[in-house]
Amino acid sequence: MKENVDIGRNIKIIEFLKCELLNSVSAVFEALFKGSKESQQMITEGLANIILVTYSLAKRLGVDYSSIDKKVQEKARLHILEEHHLEKWYGDLSNLYQHLKDHGN
């Protein structure tokens, strides 16, 4: 019986996290649309929540945090090599790659 409760609770939290993710994306888009002075703080909060929810969702799905970090670093490195527009025009991916590398990932 305990196992059924844990499985049910895990499914419920996964559904909750999916809704949280959508709400956070919506909040970022709304802040971008409004373009007011406080929108920068709303954007930062929304993006931080997206990252938090993403890590939490990964954990509930059996993916550990370091795997996510490594995959992001790998993807950034690949896009650097492929000269993705974000890299070619702004150097964003090199900056992200270095940030992850500097923080032990």
Helix axes 65-81, 92-102, angle to 10 degrees: 140
| C-alpha span between 9 and 99 (Å, rounded) | 35
pLDDT confidence of residue 37: 78
Mind listing the pLDDT tens digit for each residue in 88-97? 999 999 999 9
| C-alpha span between 69 and 100 (Å, rounded) | 8
| C-alpha span between 32 and 40 (Å, rounded) | 8
| 3-class secondary-structure state, position 36 | coil
| C-alpha span between 6 and 91 (Å, rounded) | 45
Mean pLDDT of 14-24: 97
pLDDT confidence of residue 83: 93
Summary mean pLDDT of the chain: 92
Per-residue pLDDT band at 7 (split at 50, 70, 90): confident
Instruction: Write the DSSP symbol of residue 62.
Output: T
